[in-house]
Amino acid sequence: MAIHVLAVHRDTVGTEQAAGNSLAAAYSVGVVCWLLSAGVYIAAKWVSSEMPPWALCFWRVLIAWAILMPIVRRHFGDMVALVRARPLELLAIGGMGLAICQGMIFVGLEHADATTAGIIIALIPIITMILARLILAESMGGWQVIGSILAFLGIVVIILKGSPAALMRLDFNPGELWIVAGAFCFSVYTVLLRRAKFDVNRLALLVLLLGAAVLTALPFYLFELLSDERSTLNSSGLVALAYVAIPGGAVMYYLFNRSIEALGAARAGVLLYIQTIFIAVLAYLILGEQLQPYHLEGAALIVAGLLLIILLKPKAKAEAATAEESV
């Protein structure tokens, strides 16, 4: 879930770094990153009936943290200083974005299909924009408001499966509601991380946030060990865990940071939307899921909302985003 590092740091990209990399190669790194991220949804759904969600979440962040830690060893001094200065802030933000968020999504995938999850997750930038307006007082133009409403209606269509009668019956898929809650949690994390402006290397900060996620996920995992009868040591679970922790975890996080260095956060973040396509294709090929009419109707509304937000953003806001290269 590469979305969990979208706002890891306020981006400062040197032109000399971008000049040293082929633009095509940089975009390729970003595309591979989102492909690996899409595979996490497929793996989590594949073992959802066998492996508890918090076990998958805990071991994923722990293994990814252990793999990435040696890579940032030259930043250990800055990391220790930040932990000493702002421990609770790191714990709250990292726990929210990298543990609670993905734990909720894994819980949701026990009941919802991966295709639906991928479409819902595409809402994160829109939710983030709305929360940034409320919490950080960032500006929103009229077209952004209209786009947000359209995208919200798209999610409503998906949750109701295109049937307004489901609203009257309160007939909702609990898994889809869990995934919406996870998307909301990540958006809160993104806004809080923007406000925090931690002054440390981007990848080093990610490692600290993963460490906070390990501490946050641990009590949920321990409770799950006592209350869930499913085994976390079966072969399918181990295969899924190996994927979400290594290619879909540590490698994906690293590639996303590399794509930011080459492209800037704004352009690298826009590639998020191809994740939804990858999830739908992989879910069809591996899980046998089918796109339903309500998926297409909801996705059309979300895409329309995104286009209004991206293409018709206020001039001042667009200039500020370009200047800061922030998501």
pLDDT tens sequence across 76-135: 999 999 999 999 999 999 999 999 999 999 999 999 889 888 888 877 877 887 888 888
Residue whose structure tokens are 């919802």: 112
| 3-state class percentages of the chain: helix first, strand second, coil last, to nearest 5 | 80, 0, 20
* Residues 128 and 275: beta-carbon distance below 8 Å: no
Q: What is the mean pLDDT of residues 278-284?
A: 88
Higher pLDDT, 232 or 62: 62
Residue whose tokens read 């639906």: 116
pLDDT value at residue 71: 93
Give the model's pLDDT for residue 122.
79
What does DSSP assign to residue 231? -
Which amino acid type is present at position 270? V
Determine the average pLDDT of the residues in 143-170.
69
List CB contacts of 27: < 8 A, sequence separation 6 or more: 259, 263, 271
- In this model, does residue 60 exceed pLDDT 80? yes
- Which is more confident, 179 or 146? 179
pLDDT at 281 (0 to 100): 87
Residue 297, φ and ψ in degrees, nearest 5? -65, -45
Answer whether residue 2 shows pLDDT above 60. Answer: no
The pLDDT score that the predictor gives to residue 22 is 74
Query: pTM of the predicted model, to two decimals?
Result: 0.80
Please give the residue that has the higher pLDDT: either 9 or 135: 135
Query: Higher-confidence residue: 180 or 235?
Result: 180
pLDDT band at residue 326 under the 50/70/90 scheme: very low
Please report which confidence band the pLDDT of residue 168 belongs to, taking 50, 70 and 90 as the band edges: low
pLDDT over 90 at 320, yes or no: no
Q: Which range, 153-162, 283-292, 305-314, is most confident? A: 283-292
DSSP letter assigned to residue 5: G
- Pick from 120, 251, 268, 113: nearest CA to 187: 120
Encoding tokens for residue 33? 């990153």
Q: Are 166 and 312 in contact (CB under 8 A)?
A: no
pLDDT in the model for residue 18: 40
What's the confidence (pLDDT) of residue 17? 45
> What is the distance between the alpha carbons of residues 298 and 259, in angstroms, rounded to a whole number?
30
Residue 161, phi-psi category: left (phi > 0), alpha (psi -120 to 50), beta (remainder) = left
For 167, the token pair is 């609203």
Write out the two tokens for 225. 């060990």
